[in-house]
Amino acid sequence: MSIQNEHGRAGEQMAVDYLKSKGYTILHRNYRYLKAEIDIVASKDDILAIIEVKYRSSTSLGSIAETVTKKKIKLLVMATDQLVREQNINLDVRFDIITIFKTRDIERIEHLKDAFYHF
């Protein structure tokens, strides 16, 4: 497994732990539909949170959240639509991004709620 994949998995686990500490219930991890993947599907207070996790150990690439492209958003919306229909979920949907910045000395998690809209 590549270092990038290891960091991605570690970042997703940090995000899951963070969400649980905030009262979220984790429904799915790495939900896949066609070419799309949702990192984390969680619920809290009648909200279905579709969460994209971004992990970085350097800020040299700019804002972590800005790495979520229009193409990625389109894929997330498609996968979410499939998930909601196949499991007959009747909750409001919200798209979030959790950014994790971690170096040897710093660990910072930010939860951007309603990070983008699908309409």
pTM of the prediction?
Answer: 0.85
Domains and CATH numbers, the chain: 3-112 (3.40.1350.10)
For residue 9, name the pLDDT band (cuts at 50, 70, 90): confident
For residue 119, name the pLDDT band (cuts at 50, 70, 90): very low
The residue among 15 and 60 whose pLDDT is bigger is 15
* Distance between CA atoms of residues 74 and 108, nearest Å: 27
The secondary structure of residue 114, as a DSSP letter, is T
Is the C-alpha dihedral spanning 45, 47, 50, 54 positive or negative?
A: negative
The residue among 4 and 77 whose pLDDT is bigger is 77
Look up tokens 């710093």; give the residue: 106
Above 60 in pLDDT, residue 62?
no
* Distance between CA atoms of residues 21 and 6, nearest Å: 23
